[in-house]
A and B are shown apart, each in its own frame.
Chain A
Amino acid sequence: MGKSYLSFTVAVILQALDNGYQYGFDIMDVTGLPSGTVYPALRRLEEAGYVGSKWEKHTIAQAAQRPPRKYYELTKEGKEALAEAVQRYRILEQTQAQPPPKPKPSRAQ
């Protein structure tokens, strides 16, 4: 994934991550993108080094009696790529000033 060829969709996902939406489903909620787009994009971004992933603490998951969730974070390269993408897709600027996320399940998309 070359820096200069970030698609708008990928830039939107990076922007969502930058805005604090770290889980796949949360990114879907906030961007409106389908799961079949968000997850493959996250994997490509991770492979390209723009995004890192970690597993949620085991104790939290255990308490909730479910497997640990995986969350994603922007890396330094990811931030640079996003800045560059924002320059190209000016519309992303409007989403930059959004309030911090409060994970809330959406209804059907």
Chain B
Amino acid sequence: MPGHDRHKRRVSRPHLWLIALAGVIVPRRLRADWRQEWEAELRYRETLLAEWDRLDWRSKFDLLWRSLGAFRDALLLQPRRSEDKMFQDFRFGARMLLKQPAFTLIAVLTLSLGIGATSAVFSLIQGVLLTPPPYQQPERIALITTARTDGQQTSGPRGWPAAQWLEWQKEAKSFEAIAAYGWTFNFLVLEDGSESLEGMFVTKDYFRVTGLQPALGRAFQDSDTVTNAPPVVILGYDLWRRKFNGDPNIIGKTIRISRRDTPPTVIGVMPSGIRFLPAPSAAKEPNYNVNAQVDFWTPAAPTPESLKQPFWNVVGQLQSGTTLDAAQAELAVITARQAQANRDFTGFTARTQSLTDEMNRDGRRILLPLLGAAALVLLIACGNVAALLLVRGLQRQQEYAVRCALGAGRVALFRQVSTESLLLALLGSALGVGLAFGVVKLFKLIGGHAIPRLDAVTTGWPVLACGLGAAVMAALLAGLLPALRAARLDPMIALKDAGPKSSAGRGERRMLRGVTMIQTALTLALLVSAGLLIRTMNNLSKVQAGYNTGKILTMSVTALQRDNRERVAVHQRVLERVSKLPGVESAAFAWGVPLTGNNWPFGVEIEGQPAPSKPSDLPVLPARSVTEDYFKLLGQALVAGRNFRSTDNRDTPDATNVAIINQAMADRYFPQANPVGKKFWGFGRNNPPTEIIGVVANGRTDDLTKAAEPEIYLSMWQATPFTKHLLVRTTADPRALMSSVQRELRAIDPTVAVENLKTLEEIRGDSLASRSFAMRLLIGFSIVASALTLVGIYGVLSLSVAARRRELAIRTAMGAGRRDILKLVLGEGLRLIAGGVAAGLAAAIALSRVLRSFLFEVEPTDPVTLITVGLLFVGVALLACWAPARRAVKVDPLEALRYE
């Protein structure tokens, strides 16, 4: 640009003012030329007009009008501002990082660990919690559950009588539509071994409430639910693909399923990914899994004779703009009125719950604490990289000072240092995302039972987006402090020091110590959490369950419906043949194997107990149905009365219904008397009574963490479940017998469905899955965090030793011994560690409360865990201090003083 600065700019006219104003937003690099071009044109034109004597108001307005265009010109130059500088900064940053490959590698690896952990847990959260269910406007779908009007806990899950929800459909203004549904199961009969199916029976409004539409065929109509209507079924997408090979002509064909005299006709196929709506009253069924994909839908409508039976689950679509509370209040008024009109409905009121909240409850419980743990790892990694960048900044002080002296502004220096952090973070994110992809695969392998709907988790854009987000955050966290320090550098002071600095001043060391202390505190919080979960698992392994879980093979067995005599014969034949297999000690059938959550909520009236005044007061106890050898097989002792016999059979003439109760039930309901010989009635005294024939020792059958509750065992030949478990006690590894037991079953009934083959130990493991998954993850995170923090402690102390080289030399020269120097350096290390550990224990006490629901027989503030973890960490961290301390001892006073 040819010496434009020699021309004194005379900004005397409005159009020139405008140019000066617009010039402010032109990128600095281009600004001078830009202003000159506009000014020269305007002034040239102004002069020309003046010479021609045509500088009237219209010409002036024209000049002003043209100057306004300069704003657009300036605005359109904006991309060049960031582009140029950004590229320059990135190029320079990349060159600087390549110059120190070891530093770059360590920083990138460190960040990748933090970013990888966070992205992996986030992808779980995205797949499980943030992906809405495939319903139209899921936020408007509300579950309508029952609660007691007196606010007490219901003794068991209860549905709604059709008589009540049919009225709601007509009267409740808060709902657009209300549908009722239930969980059901069946099995697809195949000649080479059948397959059990889990499905829903739904009223026709189900499709209106959920907004679902079949992918093939049609939804249910009124005509499908009338009496004697031909049975129809809608298939789930997965079942259609798996068992019918995705046959596009399936509509109109029939399928053979059990418990149906007429094979139903397929009228539709639903889209993929549709899962169950919660059906609490079916939650104790052996195959119930609310998070599974629905295999089939059948139409349902209440019959006049069952209007008062409370077995329907109800779901509604809220009117737009109506809140859950408003809907609940409206239903409360209606149910109160219904209870007044009919005694059967007293004691219960409606509670509205958001469907998504209910479905995400379990997932949130485990995933949010884990995200917190992953974020701590990321923070710790950022701390390490911040420390590395700070030290690197010290080494580059001279360079920064020279650049400042040559005219680089503080902002430019800040931007440059930040760009380097961002580059590091981006590289870390690329590696971290790769790591996250692998970790998610690992989660899917080990977290199957711990996290609901894990099959829906995919690794894709969400992981990438989270990785990128974490990278930007990491760049900010790790890079801000070093960048600020670089920008605040006084070039004069830095240039006075000869040569690059390899050590740090007091202020810098204090800052690094602060960073390391925070890291130590965060690591301690993670370690304590992991420690508490380890103690929990340890406590659980010592729990006396009351039965023996070793060497027992279990499998669910579903056979075709037959009359009772034939059914008993088939099942007894199975037990006989399986018991004779080599390696088998005994075999039994059971409906309600421990820790599967499987039992039958049984509303009972017990002899000698006051009759309930209203339905909600009826005690609901878990009932199980077992064969004679069950208690012997599990090692549960009979403490009173007798065991079941094969004659406790529905077909035996004059046989009464019999039951064995557990000790807890005997203690609660017959504290002073012998329960044997006493009676109870299932679902009201109108039904025949059941006689208690024995008392069995307590077992933690429902949940290992909870003491035994009252429970009832019925004879399987009298209480006949459709699907049941076959239990086989073996003399050696139970898994080795899987195929031979299945072979025996198929030999007796080729169509039998044999599924879910597991050992009882595995079932026990599954019941603790969320705890063990959380424990494994926290252990993994704690190891990574500890490694990073130990490296941090090592680094800070090494830097301190380097900085105090002269002081150490003088001390040695003055007669300080090896022991004194060691004490000095290790003392500094110990102070650093102890400060971090103290802060960490406080943080751990605050944070570990989040884990309360996972803990068993250990408090979040458990002193043993806190002290053990704290001491262990101090011990290991002192080892990290050992190398710098040794280096301090080896300082040669002569050499050090000469060097200085």
Chain A contacts to B: CB under 8 angstroms: 23-25, 28, 34-40, 43, 55-58, 61-62, 64-70, 105-109
Contacts and interface: CB of A to CB of B under 8 A. Distances in A.
A61 B7 contact: yes
B680 to A, nearest CB: 87
Interface stretch (B68-76, B111-119, B776-784): B68-76
Contacts of B45: 25, 105
B830 to A, nearest CB: 63
Contacts of A23: 41
A108 B72 contact: no
Interface of B: 1-4, 6-7, 9, 33, 36-37, 39-41, 43-45, 47-49, 52, 54, 58-59, 61-62, 65-73, 76-77
Contact of B4 (A24, A37, A64, A67): A67
A109 B7 CA distance: 30
Nearest to A66: B43
Nearest to B76: A40
A36 B71 contact: yes
Contacts of A56: 40
B73 A43 contact: yes
B interface secondary structure, majority? helix
A66 B47 contact: yes
B1 to A, nearest CB: 6
B51 to A, nearest CB: 10
Contacts of A39: 69-70, 73
A57 B45 CA distance: 17
B47 A64 contact: yes
B41 A25 contact: yes
A24 B54 CA distance: 20
Given A66-B44, A67-B40, A37 B69 contact: yes
A105 B37 contact: no
B62 A24 contact: no
A36 B22 CA distance: 12
Contacts of B70: 35-36, 39
Contacts of B52: 105
A36 B76 CA distance: 10
B61 A58 contact: no
A38 B72 CA distance: 10
12 contacts: A34-B66, A35-B65, A35-B73, A43-B76, A55-B1, A55-B2, A57-B2, A64-B44, A64-B47, A67-B40, A105-B59, A108-B65
Given A28-B66, A35-B70, A40-B73, A108 B41 contact: no
A70 B45 CA distance: 13
Most chain B Cβ neighbours within 10 Å, of A38, A62, A70? A70
Contacts of A107: 54, 58-59, 62
B48 A105 contact: yes
B41 A69 contact: yes
A51 to B, nearest CB: 14
A109 B39 CA distance: 20
B47 A69 contact: no
Nearest to A64: B47
A43 B1 contact: no
Nearest to A69: B40
Nearest to B42: A25
Contacts of A58: 2-3
A108 B58 contact: yes
